[in-house]
Structure 1
Protein backbone atom coordinates (compact mmCIF):
# COMPACT_ATOMS: atom_id res chain seq x y z
CA UNK A 1 0.00 0.00 0.00
CA UNK A 2 1.07 3.59 -0.50
CA UNK A 3 2.24 5.42 2.61
CA UNK A 4 -0.82 7.68 2.49
CA UNK A 5 -3.06 4.60 2.73
CA UNK A 6 -1.02 3.25 5.63
CA UNK A 7 -1.27 6.53 7.55
CA UNK A 8 -5.00 6.78 6.91
CA UNK A 9 -5.44 3.29 8.38
CA UNK A 10 -4.01 4.37 11.74
CA UNK A 11 -6.35 5.47 14.54
CA UNK A 12 -7.20 9.16 14.25
CA UNK A 13 -6.09 9.77 17.83
CA UNK A 14 -2.55 8.68 16.90
CA UNK A 15 -2.45 10.85 13.80
CA UNK A 16 -3.63 14.03 15.50
CA UNK A 17 -1.39 13.52 18.54
CA UNK A 18 -4.14 12.93 21.11
CA UNK A 19 -2.47 9.77 22.40
CA UNK A 20 1.07 11.17 22.46
CA UNK A 21 2.15 12.56 25.83
CA UNK A 22 5.45 14.43 25.85
CA UNK A 23 7.85 13.26 28.55
CA UNK A 24 8.73 15.57 31.43
CA UNK A 25 12.32 15.84 30.17
CA UNK A 26 11.10 16.83 26.70
CA UNK A 27 8.85 19.49 28.23
CA UNK A 28 11.79 20.89 30.19
CA UNK A 29 13.86 21.01 27.00
CA UNK A 30 11.05 22.90 25.26
CA UNK A 31 10.72 25.42 28.09
CA UNK A 32 14.47 26.05 28.18
CA UNK A 33 14.43 26.43 24.40
CA UNK A 34 11.69 29.07 24.71
CA UNK A 35 13.62 30.76 27.55
CA UNK A 36 10.53 30.90 29.74
CA UNK A 37 10.70 33.19 32.76
CA UNK A 38 8.63 34.14 35.81
CA UNK A 39 7.05 36.95 33.79
CA UNK A 40 5.53 34.60 31.20
CA UNK A 41 1.93 33.53 30.80
CA UNK A 42 2.16 30.06 29.32
CA UNK A 43 -0.51 28.19 27.38
CA UNK A 44 -0.37 24.55 26.31
CA UNK A 45 -2.95 23.95 23.60
CA UNK A 46 -3.86 20.27 23.72
CA UNK A 47 -2.31 19.84 27.17
CA UNK A 48 -3.26 16.20 27.74
CA UNK A 49 -2.16 14.97 31.17
CA UNK A 50 -1.30 18.53 32.34
CA UNK A 51 2.31 17.70 33.32
CA UNK A 52 3.40 20.69 31.24
CA UNK A 53 1.28 22.99 33.39
CA UNK A 54 2.74 21.59 36.61
CA UNK A 55 6.33 21.87 35.36
CA UNK A 56 5.86 25.40 33.99
CA UNK A 57 4.33 26.51 37.29
CA UNK A 58 6.61 24.75 39.77
CA UNK A 59 9.98 24.57 38.04
CA UNK A 60 9.94 27.57 35.71
CA UNK A 61 7.78 29.65 38.06
CA UNK A 62 5.82 31.35 35.30
CA UNK A 63 3.29 33.98 36.30
CA UNK A 64 0.47 31.72 35.11
CA UNK A 65 0.19 28.48 33.15
CA UNK A 66 -3.00 27.41 31.41
CA UNK A 67 -3.75 24.10 29.73
CA UNK A 68 -6.57 23.68 27.22
CA UNK A 69 -7.85 20.35 25.91
CA UNK A 70 -11.11 19.02 24.48
CA UNK A 71 -10.72 15.70 26.31
CA UNK A 72 -12.88 16.06 29.43
CA UNK A 73 -11.40 13.01 31.15
CA UNK A 74 -7.82 14.28 30.77
CA UNK A 75 -8.80 17.72 32.05
CA UNK A 76 -10.51 16.15 35.08
CA UNK A 77 -7.42 14.04 35.84
CA UNK A 78 -5.19 17.06 35.33
CA UNK A 79 -7.16 19.19 37.78
CA UNK A 80 -6.69 16.49 40.43
CA UNK A 81 -2.95 16.48 39.75
CA UNK A 82 -2.69 20.26 40.13
CA UNK A 83 -4.70 20.10 43.36
CA UNK A 84 -2.48 17.33 44.76
CA UNK A 85 0.61 19.41 43.97
CA UNK A 86 -1.00 22.53 45.51
CA UNK A 87 -0.40 24.51 42.33
CA UNK A 88 -2.23 27.83 42.49
CA UNK A 89 -0.81 29.57 39.41
CA UNK A 90 -1.84 26.80 37.01
CA UNK A 91 -5.28 26.03 35.61
CA UNK A 92 -6.99 23.80 33.05
CA UNK A 93 -9.88 24.40 30.66
CA UNK A 94 -12.08 21.82 28.99
CA UNK A 95 -12.51 23.63 25.68
CA UNK A 96 -11.85 23.55 21.94
CA UNK A 97 -8.65 25.53 21.36
CA UNK A 98 -10.23 27.32 18.39
CA UNK A 99 -12.80 28.89 20.74
CA UNK A 100 -10.37 29.63 23.56
CA UNK A 101 -9.36 33.11 24.68
CA UNK A 102 -5.54 33.14 24.64
CA UNK A 103 -5.13 36.90 24.25
CA UNK A 104 -2.89 37.27 27.32
CA UNK A 105 -0.40 34.56 26.25
CA UNK A 106 3.32 35.23 26.01
CA UNK A 107 4.41 31.61 25.34
CA UNK A 108 2.30 28.93 23.62
CA UNK A 109 3.04 25.25 23.02
CA UNK A 110 1.10 24.19 19.93
CA UNK A 111 1.60 20.72 18.46
CA UNK A 112 -1.12 19.78 15.99
CA UNK A 113 -1.02 18.11 12.57
CA UNK A 114 -4.55 18.84 11.35
CA UNK A 115 -4.22 21.44 8.58
CA UNK A 116 -7.62 23.04 9.20
CA UNK A 117 -6.84 23.48 12.89
CA UNK A 118 -3.43 24.95 12.09
CA UNK A 119 -4.91 27.38 9.56
CA UNK A 120 -7.53 28.64 12.02
CA UNK A 121 -5.03 28.96 14.84
CA UNK A 122 -2.51 30.91 12.74
CA UNK A 123 -5.19 33.56 12.21
CA UNK A 124 -5.74 33.57 15.98
CA UNK A 125 -2.01 33.80 16.71
CA UNK A 126 -1.59 36.76 14.37
CA UNK A 127 -3.79 38.88 16.63
CA UNK A 128 -1.64 38.24 19.70
CA UNK A 129 0.62 40.90 21.17
CA UNK A 130 4.07 41.40 19.60
CA UNK A 131 6.73 39.11 21.01
CA UNK A 132 4.45 36.17 21.79
CA UNK A 133 6.36 32.90 21.29
CA UNK A 134 4.65 29.93 19.62
CA UNK A 135 6.52 26.64 19.97
CA UNK A 136 5.85 23.86 17.47
CA UNK A 137 7.39 20.42 17.05
CA UNK A 138 8.76 19.05 13.74
CA UNK A 139 7.55 21.88 11.49
CA UNK A 140 7.08 25.65 11.70
CA UNK A 141 3.74 27.38 11.37
CA UNK A 142 2.53 27.14 7.78
CA UNK A 143 3.94 29.92 5.62
CA UNK A 144 6.06 31.40 8.42
CA UNK A 145 9.82 31.65 8.83
CA UNK A 146 11.02 30.34 12.19
CA UNK A 147 12.77 32.78 14.53
CA UNK A 148 14.68 30.04 16.34
CA UNK A 149 15.28 26.33 15.76
CA UNK A 150 16.65 23.52 17.91
CA UNK A 151 15.14 20.67 15.95
CA UNK A 152 12.58 19.25 16.48
CA UNK A 153 11.59 22.36 18.45
CA UNK A 154 10.73 25.42 16.38
CA UNK A 155 9.86 28.91 17.56
CA UNK A 156 7.79 31.52 15.75
CA UNK A 157 7.44 34.97 17.30
CA UNK A 158 4.67 37.48 16.61
CA UNK A 159 4.48 39.33 14.28
CA UNK A 160 5.34 36.42 11.98
CA UNK A 161 7.92 36.58 9.22
CA UNK A 162 6.47 35.37 5.94
CA UNK A 163 8.27 32.50 4.21
CA UNK A 164 8.62 32.87 0.47
CA UNK A 165 8.59 29.11 -0.05
CA UNK A 166 8.72 25.71 1.65
CA UNK A 167 12.26 25.43 0.28
CA UNK A 168 13.29 28.54 2.21
CA UNK A 169 11.70 27.16 5.39
CA UNK A 170 13.50 23.83 5.10
CA UNK A 171 16.93 25.37 4.56
CA UNK A 172 16.51 27.49 7.70
CA UNK A 173 15.21 24.56 9.77
CA UNK A 174 17.99 22.19 8.74
CA UNK A 175 20.66 24.93 8.78
CA UNK A 176 22.45 23.60 5.72
CA UNK A 177 22.89 24.26 2.01
CA UNK A 178 21.70 20.77 1.07
CA UNK A 179 20.21 17.75 2.81
CA UNK A 180 21.88 14.34 2.53
CA UNK A 181 20.89 11.03 4.10
CA UNK A 182 22.91 11.58 7.28
CA UNK A 183 21.27 14.96 7.93
CA UNK A 184 17.81 13.50 7.27
CA UNK A 185 18.51 10.59 9.66
CA UNK A 186 19.94 12.84 12.39
CA UNK A 187 16.91 15.13 12.38
CA UNK A 188 14.41 12.27 12.17
CA UNK A 189 16.16 10.61 15.13
CA UNK A 190 15.94 13.84 17.15
CA UNK A 191 12.19 13.89 16.53
CA UNK A 192 11.77 10.24 17.54
CA UNK A 193 13.67 10.82 20.79
CA UNK A 194 11.64 13.94 21.60
CA UNK A 195 8.34 12.07 21.37
CA UNK A 196 9.81 8.73 22.46
CA UNK A 197 7.32 5.96 23.12
CA UNK A 198 9.95 3.99 25.07
CA UNK A 199 9.42 1.25 22.50
CA UNK A 200 12.68 0.89 20.56
CA UNK A 201 11.14 -0.91 17.59
CA UNK A 202 8.38 1.68 17.18
CA UNK A 203 10.85 4.56 17.51
CA UNK A 204 13.18 2.97 14.94
CA UNK A 205 10.29 2.52 12.51
CA UNK A 206 9.25 6.15 13.02
CA UNK A 207 12.82 7.31 12.41
CA UNK A 208 12.99 5.39 9.13
CA UNK A 209 9.68 6.84 7.93
CA UNK A 210 10.59 10.40 8.89
CA UNK A 211 14.07 10.11 7.36
CA UNK A 212 12.54 9.16 4.03
CA UNK A 213 9.95 11.94 4.28
CA UNK A 214 12.68 14.53 4.97
CA UNK A 215 14.96 13.34 2.18
CA UNK A 216 12.17 12.95 -0.41
CA UNK A 217 10.84 16.44 0.38
CA UNK A 218 14.36 17.82 0.03
CA UNK A 219 14.82 16.00 -3.29
CA UNK A 220 11.53 17.32 -4.67
CA UNK A 221 12.42 20.87 -3.59
CA UNK A 222 15.85 20.67 -5.21
CA UNK A 223 17.83 20.88 -1.97
CA UNK A 224 19.02 17.27 -1.63
CA UNK A 225 22.77 16.79 -1.96
CA UNK A 226 23.58 15.25 -5.34
CA UNK A 227 21.42 14.00 -8.17
CA UNK A 228 21.30 10.29 -7.35
CA UNK A 229 19.24 8.52 -4.71
CA UNK A 230 21.65 7.54 -1.87
CA UNK A 231 22.09 3.82 -1.26
CA UNK A 232 20.72 4.00 2.33
CA UNK A 233 17.55 5.67 1.01
CA UNK A 234 17.16 2.93 -1.60
CA UNK A 235 17.67 0.30 1.11
CA UNK A 236 15.03 1.74 3.44
CA UNK A 237 12.57 2.20 0.58
CA UNK A 238 13.11 -1.51 -0.16
CA UNK A 239 12.74 -2.53 3.50
CA UNK A 240 9.43 -0.68 3.86
CA UNK A 241 8.11 -2.25 0.67
CA UNK A 242 9.35 -5.80 1.32
CA UNK A 243 8.70 -6.19 5.05
CA UNK A 244 5.89 -3.72 5.73
CA UNK A 245 4.17 -3.50 2.34
CA UNK A 246 4.51 0.31 2.44
CA UNK A 247 5.42 2.09 -0.79
CA UNK A 248 6.99 5.58 -0.71
CA UNK A 249 8.85 5.80 -4.03
CA UNK A 250 5.83 7.36 -5.77
CA UNK A 251 6.37 10.48 -3.64
CA UNK A 252 9.50 11.29 -5.62
CA UNK A 253 9.05 13.75 -8.46
CA UNK A 254 10.56 12.06 -11.52
Structure 2
Protein backbone atom coordinates (compact mmCIF):
# COMPACT_ATOMS: atom_id res chain seq x y z
CA UNK A 1 0.00 0.00 0.00
CA UNK A 2 1.07 3.60 -0.50
CA UNK A 3 2.46 5.41 2.55
CA UNK A 4 -0.60 7.70 2.53
CA UNK A 5 -2.89 4.66 2.69
CA UNK A 6 -0.88 3.20 5.56
CA UNK A 7 -1.16 6.43 7.54
CA UNK A 8 -4.93 6.37 7.02
CA UNK A 9 -5.08 3.00 8.81
CA UNK A 10 -3.70 4.57 11.99
CA UNK A 11 -6.01 6.09 14.61
CA UNK A 12 -6.82 9.70 13.72
CA UNK A 13 -5.91 10.94 17.20
CA UNK A 14 -2.46 9.36 16.86
CA UNK A 15 -1.81 11.27 13.64
CA UNK A 16 -3.10 14.53 15.08
CA UNK A 17 -0.97 14.20 18.21
CA UNK A 18 -4.06 14.42 20.40
CA UNK A 19 -3.03 11.48 22.57
CA UNK A 20 0.71 12.10 22.46
CA UNK A 21 1.93 13.76 25.64
CA UNK A 22 5.47 15.07 25.58
CA UNK A 23 7.80 13.41 28.10
CA UNK A 24 8.94 15.55 31.04
CA UNK A 25 12.49 15.63 29.65
CA UNK A 26 11.23 17.09 26.37
CA UNK A 27 9.24 19.77 28.18
CA UNK A 28 12.36 20.75 30.12
CA UNK A 29 14.39 20.83 26.90
CA UNK A 30 11.78 23.12 25.33
CA UNK A 31 11.64 25.44 28.35
CA UNK A 32 15.43 25.70 28.53
CA UNK A 33 15.60 26.33 24.79
CA UNK A 34 13.04 29.14 24.96
CA UNK A 35 14.68 30.48 28.15
CA UNK A 36 11.43 30.36 30.10
CA UNK A 37 11.62 32.37 33.31
CA UNK A 38 10.00 34.32 36.11
CA UNK A 39 8.80 37.16 33.89
CA UNK A 40 6.97 34.89 31.46
CA UNK A 41 3.28 34.18 31.01
CA UNK A 42 3.17 30.64 29.61
CA UNK A 43 0.32 29.00 27.71
CA UNK A 44 0.26 25.32 26.76
CA UNK A 45 -2.33 25.01 23.99
CA UNK A 46 -3.67 21.47 23.70
CA UNK A 47 -1.96 20.56 26.96
CA UNK A 48 -3.47 17.06 27.39
CA UNK A 49 -2.28 16.90 31.01
CA UNK A 50 -0.86 19.07 33.77
CA UNK A 51 2.83 18.36 33.18
CA UNK A 52 3.65 21.42 31.07
CA UNK A 53 2.15 23.98 33.42
CA UNK A 54 3.44 22.11 36.48
CA UNK A 55 7.06 22.12 35.30
CA UNK A 56 6.78 25.71 34.07
CA UNK A 57 5.51 26.79 37.50
CA UNK A 58 7.60 24.64 39.84
CA UNK A 59 10.92 24.55 38.04
CA UNK A 60 10.97 27.64 35.82
CA UNK A 61 9.02 29.91 38.21
CA UNK A 62 6.88 31.57 35.55
CA UNK A 63 4.63 34.47 36.48
CA UNK A 64 1.58 32.60 35.18
CA UNK A 65 0.96 29.19 33.58
CA UNK A 66 -2.20 28.23 31.70
CA UNK A 67 -3.09 24.90 30.10
CA UNK A 68 -5.92 24.69 27.58
CA UNK A 69 -7.50 21.53 26.16
CA UNK A 70 -10.97 20.66 24.89
CA UNK A 71 -10.97 17.20 26.51
CA UNK A 72 -12.99 17.63 29.71
CA UNK A 73 -11.85 14.33 31.22
CA UNK A 74 -8.19 15.18 30.76
CA UNK A 75 -8.65 18.65 32.25
CA UNK A 76 -10.54 17.18 35.21
CA UNK A 77 -7.77 14.67 35.89
CA UNK A 78 -5.09 17.34 35.49
CA UNK A 79 -6.83 19.64 37.98
CA UNK A 80 -7.07 16.80 40.50
CA UNK A 81 -3.34 16.13 40.22
CA UNK A 82 -2.47 19.81 40.68
CA UNK A 83 -4.82 20.11 43.66
CA UNK A 84 -3.23 17.08 45.31
CA UNK A 85 0.20 18.68 44.85
CA UNK A 86 -1.11 22.10 45.90
CA UNK A 87 0.20 23.71 42.72
CA UNK A 88 -1.49 26.91 41.58
CA UNK A 89 -1.99 26.81 37.81
CA UNK A 90 -4.89 27.61 35.51
CA UNK A 91 -6.45 24.83 33.43
CA UNK A 92 -9.28 25.63 31.01
CA UNK A 93 -11.48 23.22 29.10
CA UNK A 94 -12.18 24.84 25.74
CA UNK A 95 -11.13 24.84 22.10
CA UNK A 96 -7.85 26.65 21.58
CA UNK A 97 -9.45 28.61 18.73
CA UNK A 98 -11.86 30.17 21.24
CA UNK A 99 -9.24 30.93 23.88
CA UNK A 100 -7.83 34.29 24.93
CA UNK A 101 -4.05 34.18 25.37
CA UNK A 102 -3.32 37.81 24.51
CA UNK A 103 -1.15 38.24 27.62
CA UNK A 104 1.17 35.36 26.66
CA UNK A 105 4.91 35.78 26.30
CA UNK A 106 5.56 32.07 25.54
CA UNK A 107 3.17 29.60 23.90
CA UNK A 108 3.64 25.87 23.30
CA UNK A 109 1.57 24.92 20.26
CA UNK A 110 1.72 21.41 18.73
CA UNK A 111 -1.11 20.79 16.28
CA UNK A 112 -1.24 19.14 12.86
CA UNK A 113 -4.84 19.99 11.93
CA UNK A 114 -4.54 22.57 9.13
CA UNK A 115 -7.92 24.10 9.91
CA UNK A 116 -6.93 24.74 13.53
CA UNK A 117 -3.50 26.05 12.52
CA UNK A 118 -4.98 28.48 9.99
CA UNK A 119 -7.47 29.80 12.53
CA UNK A 120 -4.75 30.19 15.14
CA UNK A 121 -2.48 32.11 12.77
CA UNK A 122 -5.02 34.94 12.75
CA UNK A 123 -4.84 35.08 16.55
CA UNK A 124 -1.04 34.74 16.64
CA UNK A 125 -0.67 37.69 14.25
CA UNK A 126 -2.37 39.92 16.84
CA UNK A 127 -0.03 39.00 19.71
CA UNK A 128 2.33 41.59 21.15
CA UNK A 129 5.84 41.81 19.67
CA UNK A 130 8.45 39.24 20.76
CA UNK A 131 5.89 36.65 21.83
CA UNK A 132 7.51 33.24 21.36
CA UNK A 133 5.49 30.36 19.92
CA UNK A 134 7.16 26.96 20.15
CA UNK A 135 6.18 24.42 17.51
CA UNK A 136 7.46 20.89 17.00
CA UNK A 137 8.80 19.44 13.72
CA UNK A 138 7.91 22.44 11.54
CA UNK A 139 7.53 26.22 11.89
CA UNK A 140 4.24 28.04 11.51
CA UNK A 141 2.91 28.15 7.92
CA UNK A 142 4.87 30.39 5.53
CA UNK A 143 7.11 31.61 8.36
CA UNK A 144 10.85 31.48 8.91
CA UNK A 145 11.88 30.24 12.36
CA UNK A 146 13.47 32.67 14.77
CA UNK A 147 15.53 29.90 16.39
CA UNK A 148 15.78 26.12 15.94
CA UNK A 149 16.87 23.25 18.16
CA UNK A 150 15.21 20.56 16.09
CA UNK A 151 12.55 19.32 16.50
CA UNK A 152 11.77 22.37 18.65
CA UNK A 153 11.22 25.60 16.75
CA UNK A 154 10.72 29.13 18.07
CA UNK A 155 8.49 31.40 16.00
CA UNK A 156 8.56 35.01 17.25
CA UNK A 157 6.15 37.85 16.57
CA UNK A 158 6.07 39.72 14.29
CA UNK A 159 6.64 36.74 12.02
CA UNK A 160 9.24 36.81 9.28
CA UNK A 161 7.67 35.41 6.14
CA UNK A 162 9.45 32.79 4.04
CA UNK A 163 9.79 33.55 0.34
CA UNK A 164 9.38 29.86 -0.52
CA UNK A 165 9.00 26.40 0.98
CA UNK A 166 12.61 25.75 -0.01
CA UNK A 167 13.80 28.70 2.06
CA UNK A 168 11.69 27.58 5.01
CA UNK A 169 12.92 23.97 4.92
CA UNK A 170 16.60 24.91 4.69
CA UNK A 171 16.16 27.44 7.52
CA UNK A 172 14.74 24.71 9.76
CA UNK A 173 17.54 22.24 9.03
CA UNK A 174 20.29 24.86 8.94
CA UNK A 175 21.98 23.34 5.89
CA UNK A 176 22.51 24.28 2.24
CA UNK A 177 21.01 21.00 1.04
CA UNK A 178 19.52 17.82 2.53
CA UNK A 179 21.30 14.47 2.26
CA UNK A 180 20.59 11.11 3.90
CA UNK A 181 22.65 11.91 7.00
CA UNK A 182 20.74 15.15 7.60
CA UNK A 183 17.38 13.47 7.03
CA UNK A 184 18.21 10.62 9.43
CA UNK A 185 19.63 12.92 12.12
CA UNK A 186 16.58 15.16 12.21
CA UNK A 187 14.12 12.27 11.98
CA UNK A 188 15.85 10.62 14.94
CA UNK A 189 15.76 13.83 16.97
CA UNK A 190 12.01 14.03 16.42
CA UNK A 191 11.47 10.39 17.38
CA UNK A 192 13.46 10.80 20.59
CA UNK A 193 11.60 13.98 21.52
CA UNK A 194 8.13 12.43 21.46
CA UNK A 195 9.43 9.39 23.33
CA UNK A 196 8.42 5.74 23.31
CA UNK A 197 9.00 2.68 25.45
CA UNK A 198 9.31 0.57 22.31
CA UNK A 199 12.73 0.95 20.67
CA UNK A 200 11.51 -1.04 17.65
CA UNK A 201 8.66 1.43 17.11
CA UNK A 202 11.06 4.35 17.43
CA UNK A 203 13.28 2.97 14.67
CA UNK A 204 10.28 2.30 12.44
CA UNK A 205 9.09 5.89 12.90
CA UNK A 206 12.61 7.22 12.29
CA UNK A 207 12.84 5.37 8.97
CA UNK A 208 9.47 6.72 7.82
CA UNK A 209 10.35 10.28 8.83
CA UNK A 210 13.78 10.02 7.17
CA UNK A 211 12.21 9.00 3.88
CA UNK A 212 9.58 11.74 4.13
CA UNK A 213 12.21 14.42 4.85
CA UNK A 214 14.51 13.39 2.00
CA UNK A 215 11.73 12.88 -0.57
CA UNK A 216 10.19 16.26 0.29
CA UNK A 217 13.62 17.88 -0.04
CA UNK A 218 14.11 16.26 -3.45
CA UNK A 219 10.69 17.41 -4.67
CA UNK A 220 11.51 20.95 -3.52
CA UNK A 221 14.86 20.82 -5.30
CA UNK A 222 16.99 21.11 -2.16
CA UNK A 223 18.35 17.56 -1.86
CA UNK A 224 22.13 17.37 -2.19
CA UNK A 225 21.85 15.12 -5.23
CA UNK A 226 19.30 14.31 -7.91
CA UNK A 227 20.32 10.68 -7.57
CA UNK A 228 18.64 8.62 -4.87
CA UNK A 229 21.24 7.84 -2.16
CA UNK A 230 21.91 4.14 -1.64
CA UNK A 231 20.73 4.31 1.99
CA UNK A 232 17.43 5.94 0.98
CA UNK A 233 16.82 3.32 -1.70
CA UNK A 234 17.65 0.56 0.78
CA UNK A 235 15.06 1.81 3.27
CA UNK A 236 12.48 2.28 0.51
CA UNK A 237 13.04 -1.37 -0.44
CA UNK A 238 12.83 -2.53 3.19
CA UNK A 239 9.53 -0.71 3.73
CA UNK A 240 8.12 -2.28 0.57
CA UNK A 241 9.40 -5.83 1.09
CA UNK A 242 8.84 -6.24 4.82
CA UNK A 243 5.93 -3.91 5.56
CA UNK A 244 4.25 -3.55 2.14
CA UNK A 245 4.52 0.24 2.42
CA UNK A 246 5.32 1.96 -0.87
CA UNK A 247 7.26 5.23 -1.20
CA UNK A 248 8.28 4.86 -4.86
CA UNK A 249 5.29 6.76 -6.26
CA UNK A 250 6.33 9.86 -4.31
CA UNK A 251 9.52 10.01 -6.35
CA UNK A 252 7.54 9.92 -9.60
CA UNK A 253 4.97 12.62 -8.79
CA distance in 2, matches of 1:96, 1:18: 13
Which residue pairs with 1:43 in the alignment? Answer: 43
Which residue pairs with 2:60 in the alignment? Answer: 60
CA distance in 1, matches of 2:45, 2:59: 19
CA distance in 1, matches of 2:92, 2:200: 35
Show structure 1 runs of 5+ residues with no match: none
CA distance in 2, matches of 1:253, 1:93: 47
CA distance in 2, matches of 1:117, 1:180: 32
Q: CA offsets per residue over residues 195-221 of structure 1, 9 Å max, x none?
A: 011210111010000000110011111
Which residue pairs with 1:97 in the alignment? Answer: 96
Per the TM alignment, residue 248 of structure 1 is displaced from its structure 2 partner at its CA by 1.1
Which residue pairs with 1:156 in the alignment? Answer: 155
Per the TM alignment, residue 76 of structure 1 is displaced from its structure 2 partner at its CA by 0.4
Per the TM alignment, residue 251 of structure 1 is displaced from its structure 2 partner at its CA by 1.2
Per the TM alignment, residue 86 of structure 1 is displaced from its structure 2 partner at its CA by 1.2
Per the TM alignment, residue 227 of structure 1 is displaced from its structure 2 partner at its CA by 2.0
1:66 alignment partner, SS class: strand
2:217 alignment partner, SS class: helix
Contact residue 130 and residue 158 of structure 1 kept, 8 A: yes
Which residue pairs with 2:235 in the alignment? Answer: 236
Which residue pairs with 1:22 in the alignment? Answer: 22
CA distance in 2, matches of 1:245, 1:121: 37
Which residue pairs with 1:144 in the alignment? Answer: 143
Q: CA offsets per residue over residues 166-222 of structure 1, 9 Å max, x none?
A: 100111111111111011000000000000112101110100000001100111111
CA distance in 2, matches of 1:227, 1:12: 34
Aligned runs of 1:73-222 on 2, under 5 Å? 73-88=73-88, 90-222=89-221
Task: State the aligned residue count.
Answer: 253
Per the TM alignment, residue 18 of structure 1 is displaced from its structure 2 partner at its CA by 1.1
CA distance in 2, matches of 1:205, 1:191: 13
Contact residue 220 and residue 253 of structure 1 kept, 8 A: no
Per the TM alignment, residue 245 of structure 1 is displaced from its structure 2 partner at its CA by 1.0
Which residue pairs with 2:222 in the alignment? Answer: 223
CA distance in 1, matches of 2:215, 2:233: 11
Q: CA offsets per residue over residues 115-165 of structure 1, 9 Å max, x none?
A: 111111111100111110000000000100100000000000011001111
1:252 alignment partner, SS class: helix
Per the TM alignment, residue 72 of structure 1 is displaced from its structure 2 partner at its CA by 0.7
Per the TM alignment, residue 253 of structure 1 is displaced from its structure 2 partner at its CA by 4.5
Show structure 2 runs of 5+ residues with no match: none
- TM-score normalised by structure 1 residue count: 0.98
Which residue pairs with 1:9 in the alignment? Answer: 9
Larger CA deviation: 222-231 vs 136-145? 222-231
Per the TM alignment, residue 85 of structure 1 is displaced from its structure 2 partner at its CA by 1.7
Per the TM alignment, residue 82 of structure 1 is displaced from its structure 2 partner at its CA by 1.1
CA distance in 2, matches of 1:10, 1:120: 26
2:245 alignment partner, SS class: coil
1:222 alignment partner, SS class: coil
Larger CA deviation: 92-101 vs 220-229? 220-229
2:187 alignment partner, SS class: helix
